[in-house]
Amino acid sequence: MDFRISEEHLAVVDSIEKFARKEMLPLAQVLDEKGEFSMPLWRKMGELGYTGLLAGEKYGGSNLGALGTTMALEAAGRAGADQGTLLSWAAHMVISMLNIEHWGNDEQKQKYLPKMASGEWIGAMALTEPNAGSDASSVTTSARLQGNKYILNGTKMFITNGPICDVVVVIARSEAGSKGASGTTAFIVDKTMPGWHSSKKLDKMGLRASPTGELVFDNCEVPVENVLGEVGMGMKGVAFSGVNWERTILAGHFLGGMEFNINECIKYAKGRVQFGRPIASFQTMQHKIVDMAADIEALKLLLYRQAWMIDNNMPCIKETALTKSIMGAMMLRNADEAIQIFGGYGLCKEYPVERFYRDWKLATIGGGTAEVNRDIAARFLFK
């Protein structure tokens, strides 16, 4: 395994870290408090090409691949950028734009990727429904062929970027009466098509700068040329193909956040004096920081290995499931210990550590819960 990336890609990662420290870190607390996605910040990221890291160069992207993009998001997290903004950024690139890059035909790529890579259009992916969460293959949103259009009806739930997206990859049931993953198709739905809207923005405990919402499709008219991939392969093709990417790259900014958090803890522990000594001189405090560092190193190796496997076209469902089954616990441990090191101040909003405690619960739920990922891993271990 070789975790080196090209000098050119490394330069992008470095520039993102500097940008995040200068432009994103100062906004982190206020965006969380207001529960607001910053469009001016997004536009700046677009101008610098950061919104298209995974798109091909011919579409205006930088083709950073899985490892480079994981490192880029990690760098932004390490610089202290707000985790909500990073989640929205990652979702735009990984679960929306990348699906079009992987499954789109030339016309679809020409039409959507340049706009998405430049950040002009924000992307989302809508799979989950109010009654289809972990059992995602049980989606009931219907897609009925009528002339040269599909008519979509149904509701999608918990959609990252739902309230702000211009284009969304939707998985719907195109074969009436079918069950499970079969009979589903992916569609590219954009804001010019009538019959869909974001009905409500969810008020979440964490990742508050990432707008999550419900999308309603009410006789939404989608031209047949907007079928993404093959008819009938929505789950089995498009949705399943993105799982490893999602479970790896989206975790990059979590890893970076853990690195930011430990640095804050070390700084604080050196400065906070109790019993006439910096608390960093107490062995129990040092051990907490060592445990945090061990989790960070372990998670880094797991994610880099997965990203490397993806870039080398190696299957890694078992690896991503195993990592996802423990990653949330590692992150929550990091957040918990950080607050403990900060003592009472750790509970206060003037310090960043409490935010991670709220932000990181998502990691045991989104993109496949820890329990479901244990089930997937068990299938490999017991086969």
Ligand X SMILES: Cc1cc2nc3c(=O)[nH]c(=O)nc-3n(C[C@H](O)[C@H](O)[C@H](O)COP(=O)(O)OP(=O)(O)OC[C@H]3O[C@@H](n4cnc5c(N)ncnc54)[C@H](O)[C@@H]3O)c2cc1C
Which residues are known catalytic residues?
A: 246
Query: How far apart are CB 101 and ligand X at their closest, in Å?
Result: 17
Query: How far apart are CB 206 and ligand X at their closest, in Å?
Result: 8
Number of Cα atoms under 13 Å in the Cβ half of residue 346? 20
> Closest-CB residue for ligand X?
133
What residues between 85 and 104 interact with ligand X by CB under 6 A? Answer: 91
Q: By CB under 6 A, name the one of 100, 125, 228, 292 that touches ligand X.
A: 125
The binding track of 44-83 with respect to ligand X, each residue x by CB under 6 A or -, is ----------------------------------------
Structure tokens at 30: 């206020």
27, amino acid identity: L
How far is residue 248's CA from residue 181's CA, in Å, rounded to a whole number?
23
**Residue 141 binds to ligand X (criterion: CB under 6 A):** no
The binding track of 345-364 with respect to ligand X, each residue x by CB under 6 A or -, is -----------------x--
**With respect to ligand X, which residue has the nearer C-beta, 112 or 158?**
158
Q: Which residues are bridge partners to 126 per DSSP?
A: 170
| Among 47-55, 120-128, 190-198, 279-287, the segment contacting ligand X (CB under 6 A) | 120-128
3-state secondary structure 121-190: CCEEEECCECCECCCHHHCCCEEEEECCEEEEEEEEEEEECCCCCCEEEEEEECCCCCCCCCCEEEEEEE
How far is residue 383's CA from residue 372's CA, in Å, rounded to a whole number?
17
**Residue 158 binds to ligand X (criterion: CB under 6 A):** yes
**With respect to ligand X, which residue has the nearer C-beta, 24 or 126?**
126
Q: ∠ CA 115-201-203 to the nearest 5 degrees?
A: 130
Structure tokens at 222: 């989608």
Q: Which residues are bridge partners to 236 per DSSP?
A: none
| CA dihedral sign, ordered 271, 277, 280, 281 | positive
Question: Helix or strand or coil: residue 198?
Answer: strand
| Among 3-11, 26-34, 125-133, 347-355, the segment contacting ligand X (CB under 6 A) | 125-133
Query: How far apart are CB 364 and ligand X at their closest, in Å?
Result: 8
Query: How far apart are CB 160 and ligand X at their closest, in Å?
Result: 3
**With respect to ligand X, which residue has the nearer C-beta, 125 or 188?**
125
Q: By CB under 6 A, name the one of 212, 226, 261, 320 that touches ligand X.
A: 212
DSSP string spanning 250-285? TTHHHHHHHHHHHHHHHHHHHH-EETTEEGGGSHHH
| Among 119-127, 191-199, 219-227, 268-276, the segment contacting ligand X (CB under 6 A) | 119-127
What residues between 31 and 50 interact with ligand X by CB under 6 A? Answer: none
What are the C-alpha distances in Å from 181 to residues 60, 220, 246, 368? 33, 22, 19, 16
Q: Which residues are bridge partners to 197 per DSSP?
A: 216
The binding track of 189-208 with respect to ligand X, each residue x by CB under 6 A or -, is ------------------x-
Answer yes or no: are the C-beta atoms of 104 and 238 closer than 8 Å. no
Q: By CB under 6 A, name the one of 127, 235, 251, 339 that touches ligand X.
A: 127
**Residue 159 binds to ligand X (criterion: CB under 6 A):** yes
- For binding to ligand X (CB under 6 A), which residues are involved? 91, 124-128, 133-134, 158-160, 207, 212, 362, 365-369, 371-372, 375
